[in-house]
Structure 1
Amino acid sequence: MTNFRLALAASCLVLLTGCAGSGGAEGSDGGEGDVRAAKELTVWVMGDSSAHFDELVKPFTQKSGIAVDAVAVPWDAVDQKFTTAVASGNGPDVIQIGVSKLRTFADSGVLLTLDQQALDGYPNLAAGKFLDGIAGDAAAVGGKVVSLPWVSDTRVLFYRSDILSEHGIGKPPATWDEVRAAAAKLAGRGERQFGFYVPQWDSALPVILTWGQGGDIVDATGKVDFDTPAFREAVDTYTGLYADKSVPVNADFDQTQGFVTGATPMLVSGPYLAGEINSAAPDLKGKWAVAPIPGGTARTSLLAGSNLGVWGATDNRDGALKLLDFLSEPRTQLAWYKLDGQLPSAKAALGDASLTSDPLVSVYAEQLTDAKLLPLVPNWDGETGKALLDSLNSIVLTGADRDATLKGLYEATSGTSVN
C-alpha cells in the first residue's frame, strides 16, 4: 500500500497521455461534448486482446449506436498507466481489472460504486447471474462493490497424454508427490528434456501448493503468514522439482512451445493455454488433455479472472453500464470464449451445452468449484507476490540459503492484511 501511495503522489503532476476516455466530470451541461460522449466509450483491455474485443462489441455498437474504442494495455504497463490515470483524474470509461489487482484499484477511490441502485435496470448484472465465488469474494473489497465479474479463470494440469503413456504413466498425477516422481522419470528422456514447467513469474503456483497441503498463507486474523508447516511443505515440492532437474531454469522458457515440442509435457496453467496449443499445433489434438490440479490433502486451485469497472468520472455512465450488461449476456460470454479462450463468469454461459460438451471445459468447471482467490492485499503483484517469487527463485536459481531466505520472506510480508 505504501509504495502505491508514494507512486500516486509522485505522479500527481503527470498528465496521462494517450488516454482516450470521456474524461469529463459528472454534472455536465448537456452541450455538444456531452452528445459526443454519449456516443463513445473508451475501454482499457489488458493484454493483447483488443482486436478480439473490437469484434466482440460490434453487435453492441450496431444496436446502441455507441462506438467502443478498445485500448490494449500490456500487462506489464497496467500499474503505471493506472497510477498516472488516478493522479490526473483522466481515465477510460470502462476498465478491465485483473483480480489480483482488485484491492489496489478499489483502494484508489476512482471507480464507480456498483450497488443495487446503480445496477437497477441492467438485468445481466445481478449478482445471482454470476458464479457464486466470483460474485462474492472476487467482486467486493471491504464490502464495497466497485467491479463486476467478466471472465473466470482457474489453474489445471495440462499434460501430454501421448508422452506420459509412452513412458508408462497411464493417468495424470493426482498428487504433487506423483507429479514429482513422473517429472523426474520424464526428465530422463535426454538432453533438454524435462518433466514439468515452473513459471518463474507466476506467484500463484507456490500458493496453490500450500493449499494442496491443507494450509493457507493468511491467518485467522486476516494477516499474511507464510511461516507455516503447509507452506514449508510447498517449498519442499517447489525446490524439489529443481533439485531433481525436472524443470527448465531459463526465465525466458516458452511454456507453449515447451508443451508442443514435448520438452515439458506437464505444466499448470489456465484455460487460455488450450487456445494457444491448438493454434500452435492443431495436429496434437487427442494427444494432450487437462486434469484437476494435483494436491495433497486438498486439490484446491486458483480462482482468478478479470472484472470490469466503471470510471467514476465518466461522462457516459449509462453507456458504460449498458456495455457491462452486454458483456455479461450469456451469448456474449460464449462468443468471447470462442474468440479469446477465456471462460465465462455468468452461470448460464458456463452451463451452456456448447461448453459442457467440451471435455476441457468440464474439467475447468469442476475445478472452479474448488478454487480460492489470492489474498486481496494491496499490490499483491508488486509486493507480497513479488517477495514470494524473489525468495523462491533465489533459492532454486542462485543457491541462496533456504532457511535464511524464508526467514526474510516471513519478516518482509508479516502484518500485510487483507482487511
Structure 2
Amino acid sequence: MKSTRITAPALLAVGALVLAGCTPTPTAEESAAPGDLTVWIMGDSSANFDALVAPFEEETGIAVETVAVPWDAIDQKFTTAVASGDGPDIIQIGVSKLRTFADSGALLELDADTLADHPHLAAENFIDGVAGDATAIGGSVVSLPWVSDTRVLFTRTDILGEAGIDAPPATWDELRADAKTLAGRGDGQYGYYIPQWDSALPVVMTWDQGGEIVDADGMIDFDTPEFQRAVDLYTGLYADGSVPTNSDFDQTQGFVSGVAPMLVSGPYLAGAIADAAPELDGKWTVTTLPTGAAGTSLLAGSNLGVWGSSDNTDGALDLLDYLSTPETQVAWFESDGQLPTVKDALSDPALAADPMVEVYTQQLADARLLPLVPNWDGETGKALLDALNSIVLTGADRDQTLDALFQTTSGTSVN
C-alpha cells in the first residue's frame, strides 16, 4: 500500500487557494494588529502543522506558534495551564480526554452564536459521529472535530499466504486461529500484536461480542457475559503464544519485519509502514475489523478547543475555520496521514480513490466512542489494562482480578 506525502510548497499552494476562495477579504479594521496564536499539537506532527498553517499566517498576518506536546505529557501540562490560567489559544484534545478537559472549565463554549461567522465549523459539515457527543459535554459544545480515527485490521498478506492463509481473518475466532498458526513459524515469531497500553481494544472486543460496558443507568459495568468472552479472546491470544509480551514492542517495526504480521491500529499506521518499508507495497493490506456478534470498531481521533481566556478568540476561530475547509483537511491527510472529519474532504477524489480510505470509511460507519467518563486514561481505562495485563503477564488469578476490576469501576458514571 502506498501513502501519499505532500510537500510544504504544495501545502502553501493548497492553503492559498483555500484562503482565496473561502476567506472574506478583511476590512481595514479587521486587518489591524492581529494577535498571534499559540496552538498545542499532540505528538510529533508540529513540523507538518507549521507548513499547513503557513498560508493562513501569510494571508491574515497572524503568527501561529506550534507547540508539540507529547501525548504522555498532556495531562500534566494541561493541569498546570488550568492552575496558572496561562494556556494556549487552541489545544488539540484526544476524544478520550474530552470529559476531563471540559470539566476543568478552561475551554470556550462554541455555541451557535460564537460560530455564526465561520461556515466551515457548522456541525452538518462533519461526518456522522465526530460531532455531537464527540465534541460536547453536558450539551455544551467545547471542541470541534479535527481528525477522525478508527481501528482496522492490518495484515501482511504475503506472510499469511506463505502460511497457507489465503485471506485476512473475517472473525475474531479466525484471527485467534490464524495468529496461532503464524506464531508457529519459529522462535521469536508471533501472529498478532496487542499494545499493552491500548485500553480501547478489550472494549472493542466486548462490543464485537454483542456486549456493552455501560449499563442502562449510565454506569460502567464490566461484569457481563460478553466482557468475559472478550477476556477469553484477549487472554487466549497470550496463552497461545501468539503475541509478544515485552512492553516496548514496536508495532511498526514488528509489522515491517514480519514478526507480528497482524495487528489492529488506526490510519496513521499506514503512512508509517509505507515510509519505513516502501518495498512492501502490495504485500500488506487493511480490512475492517474481524467480527463476532458485531463488527464495531473504535471511533476516536481528536478535536480542537479554544482556551476560554484567549485574548484572540476571533483569530482562533478563524484558524479553526481554515483547518476545517475540505482542501486543508485533505492536505493534512496527505502530509500527516490523519483521517479527515469533514464530509467533503473524505469524499474528495484524492481520498476516495485510495482503497485504504474506502476501508476506513466503511469502518467509521460502524464505530463508537469510548464512554466519556472523567479521566478514562488515568482511571477506568487504566484499571482495565492493569487487570488484563496482570492476568496475562504475571499470572494473576483471573476471577479475583476481574472481581477487583468490577468493584473499582462500578461507581463510574458517564452522566
Same fold (TM over 0.5): yes
3-state SS of paired residue (1:133): coil
Match in the other structure for 2:22: none
- 1:80 corresponds, among 73, 76, 80, to 76
Q: For 1:160 and 1:219, locate their aligned partners in 2 and report how far apart those are by CA, in whole Å.
A: 38
- 1:393 corresponds, among 389, 392, 409, to 389
Match in the other structure for 2:112: 116
TM-aligned CA deviation for residue 168 of structure 1: 1.2
- The letter for the 2-side match of 1:291 is T
Match in the other structure for 2:286: 290
Q: For 1:136 and 1:164, locate their aligned partners in 2 and report how far apart those are by CA, in whole Å.
A: 40
Structure 1 unaligned regions, length at least 5: 1-34
Alignment of 1:40-51 (within 5 A): 40-51=36-47
Alignment of 1:247-396 (within 5 A): 247-396=243-392
Q: For 1:174 and 1:89, locate their aligned partners in 2 and report how far apart those are by CA, in whole Å.
A: 50
Q: For 2:291 and 2:101, locate their aligned partners in 1 and report how far apart those are by CA, in whole Å.
A: 32
Match in the other structure for 1:152: 148
CA offset digits 1:212-255 (Å, max 9, x no partner): 00111111111100000010000000000000000000000000
Q: For 2:296 and 2:34, locate their aligned partners in 1 and report how far apart those are by CA, in whole Å.
A: 44
Does structure 2 retain, via aligned residues, the 8 Å contact 1:196–1:264? yes
TM-aligned CA deviation for residue 139 of structure 1: 1.0
| Residue 199 (str. 1) matches residue 199 (str. 2) | no
Does structure 1 retain, via aligned residues, the 8 Å contact 2:42–2:92? yes
Does structure 2 retain, via aligned residues, the 8 Å contact 1:215–1:230? yes
Q: For 1:248 and 1:192, locate their aligned partners in 2 and report how far apart those are by CA, in whole Å.
A: 8
Q: For 2:394 and 2:149, locate their aligned partners in 1 and report how far apart those are by CA, in whole Å.
A: 32
Larger deviation, residues 121-130 vs 166-175: 166-175
CA offset digits 1:238-273 (Å, max 9, x no partner): 000000000000000000000000000000000000
Q: CA RMSD in A?
A: 1.2
CA offset digits 1:130-150 (Å, max 9, x no partner): 012111220111111000000
Q: For 2:291 and 2:414, locate their aligned partners in 1 and report how far apart those are by CA, in whole Å.
A: 25
Match in the other structure for 1:179: 175
Identical pairs, percent: 71
Q: For 1:121 and 1:370, locate their aligned partners in 2 and report how far apart those are by CA, in whole Å.
A: 33
Match in the other structure for 1:12: none
Match in the other structure for 1:141: 137
Does structure 2 retain, via aligned residues, the 8 Å contact 1:180–1:241? yes
Does structure 2 retain, via aligned residues, the 8 Å contact 1:37–1:315? no
TM-aligned CA deviation for residue 38 of structure 1: 3.0
- The letter for the 2-side match of 1:98 is G
- The letter for the 2-side match of 1:302 is L
Q: For 1:284 and 1:137, locate their aligned partners in 2 and report how far apart those are by CA, in whole Å.
A: 39
TM-score (norm 2): 0.92
How many residues in Structure 1 have an aligned counterpart in Structure 2? Answer: 386
CA offset digits 1:105-127 (Å, max 9, x no partner): 01011110000000001010000
| Residue 55 (str. 1) matches residue 51 (str. 2) | yes
- The letter for the 2-side match of 1:158 is F
3-state SS of paired residue (2:203): helix
| Residue 230 (str. 1) matches residue 203 (str. 2) | no
Match in the other structure for 2:240: 244
The 1:416–1:84 alpha-carbon spacing in structure 2 relative to 1, beyond 3 Å, is: same
Does structure 2 retain, via aligned residues, the 8 Å contact 1:38–1:315? no
The 1:306–1:36 alpha-carbon spacing in structure 2 relative to 1, beyond 3 Å, is: farther
- The letter for the 2-side match of 1:330 is P
Does structure 1 retain, via aligned residues, the 8 Å contact 2:40–2:88? yes
3-state SS of paired residue (1:217): coil
3-state SS of paired residue (1:305): strand
Match in the other structure for 1:218: 214
3-state SS of paired residue (1:58): helix
TM-aligned CA deviation for residue 360 of structure 1: 0.5
Q: For 1:280 and 1:307, locate their aligned partners in 2 and report how far apart those are by CA, in whole Å.
A: 28
Does structure 2 retain, via aligned residues, the 8 Å contact 1:356–1:362? yes
Match in the other structure for 2:11: none
Q: For 1:253 and 1:396, locate their aligned partners in 2 and report how far apart those are by CA, in whole Å.
A: 16
The 1:56–1:223 alpha-carbon spacing in structure 2 relative to 1, beyond 3 Å, is: same
3-state SS of paired residue (1:381): coil
CA offset digits 1:18-64 (Å, max 9, x no partner): xxxxxxxxxxxxxxxxx998331000001111111000001111111
3-state SS of paired residue (1:97): strand
Structure 2 unaligned regions, length at least 5: 1-30
